Amino acid sequence: MEKLPLGLAMDLRKVVPYKTGSWRTLMPVNMMQTPPCTQSCPAGNDIRGFLRVLAEKQDYEEAWHVLTRTNPLPATCGRVCPHPCEAGCNRRDFDTPLAINSAERAVGDYGLEYNLKHKKLISKRKEKVAVVGSGPAGLSCAFHLTKRGFQVKIFEANSEPGGWMRYGIPSYRLPNYILKQEIEKILELGIEIECNVKVGVNIPMDHLTRHYNAVFLGLGAQMGTSIKIPGEDAQNVFSGVEFLKLINSGQIIEVGRDVIVVGGGNTAMDCARVAKRLGANVSVFYRRTRVEMPAITAEIDEAMEERIMFRYHTNPVKIITDEDRVVGLLCGQMELKEPDASGRARPVPIEDSESIYPAGTVIMATGQAVDYDGIEIQKQNDQWISTNENLMTSIDGVFAGGDAVLGLETVAVAIGQGLRAASAIEDYIEGNVESQLAPPPVIYSKDLNTYYYTQEKRFSKEAVSIHTRLKNFREIYPSFDRQEIIKEAERCFSCGLCFYCGNCYMYCPDNAVKISPSTGKYDFDLDFCKGCGLCAKECPCHYIQMTLER
């Protein structure tokens, strides 16, 4: 035995500690959870991931790569997405949700400015896939298939790719050069594209099914449907789709002094705001009220800011023409009755309530449908393509997604469907059984310990003044300050993922939380952990949870 100095009972540096871990009945585990932002994002973006990269490393490049793992069009979505993620953000119960949409746009713009390239995942395979339509669904599907190694060819009916993003969304919301650059980046992965080819008209569907291992139909819904009122074939009566397509193709339309837009959807809002920029007095006629309008709320607000008149409970009855030109619109008043099949109040005409409104142009944005010219496929409600849960249509090996399947939806939804279809096509070609891992549970405000967060002001984007914005078609939100976006990213709660606050490390009464030498992350020393649960209780983001002993 070692000889110790006089009076010293033992050398405390050489003690083997007593293992108290055997007392435990519950044990702490690090559990990554799904944050509500990702849960509510239709494209399934790793929002927490890219915000944490921005906050911790201030690295826009890495953030762009995190974001483009799921979404190949961040600069586009950052402009046009109605951001359901922000409605999901757990910060809404604390102060205000994060400005995720603005952060996405800043990251997307950085990628364009520094010309970042998408990374390819695996080497080429020999299987070929045809994608019909180059809208968000088609591009997303082509992008994810190419990253998986497939050879993809896109067929586009119009002269430029982008689908409704190119021909539907006006340039004050999404400038054409932004979309063009983002699409170029996707095509640079090695995707072939053939424009001015309408499948079903220029080449038959059979050709595709015969020559390709799988086909994806991202047809979109770009055909206006009419409500059949007298005088619709007059000059200066447009469907909403037609009107936007003409404007976005660079044509100049004489709209006259008064423009009436009929409808309450996003197309109606776009038409009204475009017409306003052409110098007309614009009114939107809708047969229900603002509450029932299907358009994005922010779009309606901005339209109202731009002094567009809204006339509710009004339904067109007849277009009044003079020498084949529109001069006015005869409308009846409606009242709302019990809800119909869509859950919205049913409008019923009031007798003898007709009146005439003067109009130089009437734009009927009353609905859109899929152009099935030459494509034989099974439909639901005689309107949208019917698919099974793997997005496969009635034809074997033909998949579909986007507006043509779902009805009128957003860009993000179409991107999400493109991703889903890409995995389904991969499984189909490889003959795999479709298997889906359950994502980790979603984390809600009640699970968080918000004591450790501080209230901070939300980033707010500044719009150009109404006076200047109505003079041209330039974007109404100028680009953001990158430092401010990083400050905004620092507000992220990081729900369900460790952000190294060190609470568990400092609060453990048993020193059972160690910094792992290999990963640098906090880890539990189960030899000593007594399972008191203090770390789980004081973890701000609910990353640590108590589970039953293994």
Per-residue contact track with another protein, 445 to 474, x per CB under 8 A?
A: ------x-----------------------
| 527 binds another protein per the rule CB under 8 A | yes
Tokens of 67: 């974001």
Q: Among residues 439, 455, 448, which one has the least CA distance to residue 543?
A: 448
* Cβ nearer to another protein, comparing 8 with 341: 8
**349/505 Cα distance (integer angstroms):** 68
Tokens of 69: 């793992």
Question: Is the separation of the CB atoms in 189 and 140 below 8 Å?
Answer: no
Which of 20, 96, 386, 450 touches another protein by CB under 8 A?
20
534 φ, ψ (degrees, to nearest 5): -60, -40
| 516 binds another protein per the rule CB under 8 A | no
| 34 binds another protein per the rule CB under 8 A | no
Nearest approach in angstroms of CB 510 to another protein is: 5
Binding segment for another protein among 8-16, 228-236, 377-385, 400-408 (CB under 8 A)? 8-16
| 341 binds another protein per the rule CB under 8 A | no
| Kind and range of the H or E run holding 74 | helix 74-80
Nearest approach in angstroms of CB 446 to another protein is: 15
| 337 binds another protein per the rule CB under 8 A | no
Tokens of 530: 């007594």
Check residue 227 and report its DSSP letter. -
Binding segment for another protein among 29-37, 106-114, 455-463, 532-540 (CB under 8 A)? 532-540
Question: Is the separation of the CB atoms in 539 and 451 below 8 Å?
Answer: no
Which of 1, 6, 15, 433 touches another protein by CB under 8 A?
15
Tokens of 280: 């007309």
Burial of 6 by CB count in 10 Å (0-12 exposed, 13-18 middle, 19+ buried)?
A: exposed
Nearest approach in angstroms of CB 487 to another protein is: 23
Question: Is the separation of the CB atoms in 25 and 31 below 8 Å?
Answer: no
Helix, strand, coil percentages, rounded to 5, for the chain:
35, 20, 50
Check residue 199 and report its DSSP letter. B
Interaction residues for another protein, span 485-514 (CB under 8 A)? 502, 505-512
| Kind and range of the H or E run holding 319 | strand 314-322
Nearest approach in angstroms of CB 519 to another protein is: 18
Which of 3, 18, 351, 467 touches another protein by CB under 8 A?
18
Question: Is the separation of the CB atoms in 439 and 34 below 8 Å?
Answer: yes
Tokens of 87: 């409605």
Nearest approach in angstroms of CB 17 to another protein is: 3
Question: Is the separation of the CB atoms in 192 and 154 below 8 Å?
Answer: yes
| 547 binds another protein per the rule CB under 8 A | no
Question: Is the separation of the CB atoms in 243 and 222 below 8 Å?
Answer: no
* Cβ nearer to another protein, comparing 26 with 278: 26
CA 156 centroid distance within chain: 22
Nearest approach in angstroms of CB 544 to another protein is: 11
* Cβ nearer to another protein, comparing 237 with 513: 513
| 7 binds another protein per the rule CB under 8 A | no
* Cβ nearer to another protein, comparing 53 with 498: 498
Per-residue contact track with another protein, 236 to 265, x per CB under 8 A?
A: ------------------------------
149 φ, ψ (degrees, to nearest 5): 100, -5
| 477 binds another protein per the rule CB under 8 A | no
Residues that bind another protein (CB under 8 A): 9-10, 12-13, 15-20, 23-24, 451, 502, 505-512, 525, 527-528, 530-534, 536-538, 546
